[in-house]
Amino acid sequence: MEHFDLLVIGGGPGGYLCAERAAQGGMTVALFEAVHMGGACLNEGCVPTKTLLNSAKLYRHARESAPFGVTSENPVLDHAAVMKRKGQVVRQLVTGVEAAMRNHNVRIIRAFAVIEGREADGFRVSAGGESYAGKRLVIAAGADSAAPPVPGLREALDSGFAVTSREALELTALPEELAVIGGGVIGLEMAYYFAMAGTRVTVIEMLPKIAGNTDPEICKVLMDDYKKRGMTFKLDCKVLEVTRSAVVYEEKGERKEAPCGLVLLSTGRRPATAGLGLETLGIAMDRAAIVTDRHMRTNVDGVYAVGDCNGRLMLAHTAYREAEVAVNHMLGVPDEMRYEVVPSVIYTDPEVASVGESLESAKAKGINAREVKVPLLFSGRYVAENRGGRGFLKLVADMDSRCVVGCHMVGSYASEMIMTAVMMVDTGLPAERLQKMVFPHPTVGEALREALFQL
């Protein structure tokens, strides 16, 4: 039996970064991954979807480039070529992760790991017919697509008439009509690509708005733009059934159908904790999620959980930071997870990004909050690069401390600009100090500086 300082179950962002950081800290590490190094993010989520969305953005710009003095006759989005490049990008990055593990002497065991319990020599894990022992254990098992109990849905998934984002990213042919169940981030990003590629897309969402907790005004801008791309939205509608040729839903008390050639299920994800043997250690659970504190510790000394399996914030960048916090705790370095400063992004065109409090959530917490809204048209670069853009940002501040507590934006470069807002929220510097920061000109980010002067 091999012995290690740390056993890591799961090779996604949280798992592989945890293994890397622990090895850098002098630990011997074994990493268990049964499917793909890089996890869902690298193989069937973040990276492949961004590859598709970039192709959709280039196609959109080619089609709408005439007002900018560039003519392109009959641009074509070649789905087969897009998918080929997606595969190349994924393979390159997976290879990079594997190389990083080798460079840090992390032992990779390509098998499903099951926790057998705890003995005198540490935690015992079995995988591929072998047993391994570790002084500490990190669970980074990720999550799977959640399937609601809708009649006919399971049969549709089994037959291939319905797919999750995993299967959608492997489609070699585009459906003429696509019905998307769920209007959250994953569903919107996938729906946007298919719509730009020529598929007629209908999004069915049970809530009265798309994009979950995203600012309602931003959601309206986003949905208006999506509609211009040919997408149809059925909001505040409950899915009743999936037949062999349609999604049946209820709208204002009426039973209606969305005929389609394919159904994309995008109703969220569920921690993939079944079958791991967590019960052998008595690990505390909140339904399928592993309960953790701000040091990523479970209720069992020496056991940590990072990434989607703890159900906190199912985002790859959250998993990265959780991994660092967990390893720092093991090494005795003071650190803790601050979920309130984790940003979120929707990578369609336009982009959406946010961090921290909204005006409503800040006031609900008793903060003397004020919100300022600045159109991105304040930026010379935004005007130069956009035609009639409706982008804007909202900055939320605590007027007692004069500190920024939240930011919400829609428009080009939002995914990159949000990091400046994250640092504003994270550092807690007052607006008067932030106003002295020099922003490069012309950049879209200058709108943030303008907002600071309006507080």
Q: What is the pLDDT of residues 62-76, one digit of tens each?
A: 999 999 999 888 999
**The Cα angle at residue 315 between residues 313 and 321, in degrees rounded to 5:** 85
Instruction: Report the C-alpha gap between 111 and 9 in whole angstroms.
Output: 10
In the chain, what percentage of residues exceed pLDDT 70? 100
pLDDT band at 1 (very low <50, low <70, confident <90, very high): confident
- If one counts every other C-beta atom within 10 angstroms of the C-beta of residue 206, the result is 17
pLDDT tens digits, one per residue of 334-390: 999 999 999 999 999 999 999 999 999 999 999 999 999 999 999 999 999 999 889
Instruction: Report the C-alpha gap between 362 and 357 in whole angstroms.
Output: 6
pLDDT band at 159 (very low <50, low <70, confident <90, very high): very high
Q: Quick one: pLDDT at residue 73?
A: 85
pLDDT tens digits, one per residue of 225-263: 999 999 999 999 999 999 999 999 999 999 999 999 999
The CA–CA distances, whole Å, from 170 to 80, 87, 113 equal: 10, 9, 27
275 exposure class (CB count in 10 Å sphere: 0-12, 13-18, 19+): exposed
Residue 30 corresponds to which tokens in the numbers above? 């074994």
Q: What is the helix, strand, coil percentage profile of the chain, to 5?
A: 35, 25, 35
Enzyme catalytic residues: 441
Helix (H, G, I), strand (E, B) or coil at 194: helix
CA distance between the termini of the chain? 62
Instruction: Report the C-alpha gap between 17 and 22 in whole angstroms.
Output: 8
Instruction: Report the C-alpha gap between 292 and 286 in whole angstroms.
Output: 10
pLDDT tens digits, one per residue of 395-418: 999 999 999 999 999 999 999 999
**The Cα angle at residue 148 between residues 146 and 151, in degrees rounded to 5:** 140
- The alpha helices in 131-215, defined as continuous H runs, are 153-159, 165-168, 185-196
pLDDT tens digits, one per residue of 280-298: 999 999 999 999 999 999 9
Helix (H, G, I), strand (E, B) or coil at 392: strand
Instruction: Report the C-alpha gap between 287 and 59 in whole angstroms.
Output: 43
Q: Quick one: pLDDT at residue 72?
A: 80
Confidence check: pLDDT of 121 > 90? no
pLDDT tens digits, one per residue of 408-450: 999 999 999 999 999 999 999 999 999 999 999 999 999 999 9
Residue with tokens 């009265």: 208
Q: Quick one: pLDDT at residue 242?
A: 98
Instruction: Report the C-alpha gap between 315 and 45 in whole angstroms.
Output: 10
Sheet (strand 262-265) strand order: 162-163, 262-265, 177-181, 200-204, 232-234
* Greatest Cα pair distance in the chain: 73
Residue 13 corresponds to which tokens in the numbers above? 């962002």
The CA–CA distances, whole Å, from 433 to 66, 379, 429, 449 equal: 43, 21, 6, 11
- The alpha helices in 240-394, defined as continuous H runs, are 316-331, 359-364, 380-385
pLDDT band at 88 (very low <50, low <70, confident <90, very high): very high
Residue with tokens 């190349």: 88
Q: Quick one: pLDDT at residue 388?
A: 84
What's the whole-number average pLDDT of the chain?
A: 97
Instruction: Report the C-alpha gap between 115 and 139 in whole angstroms.
Output: 10
Q: Quick one: pLDDT at residue 328?
A: 98
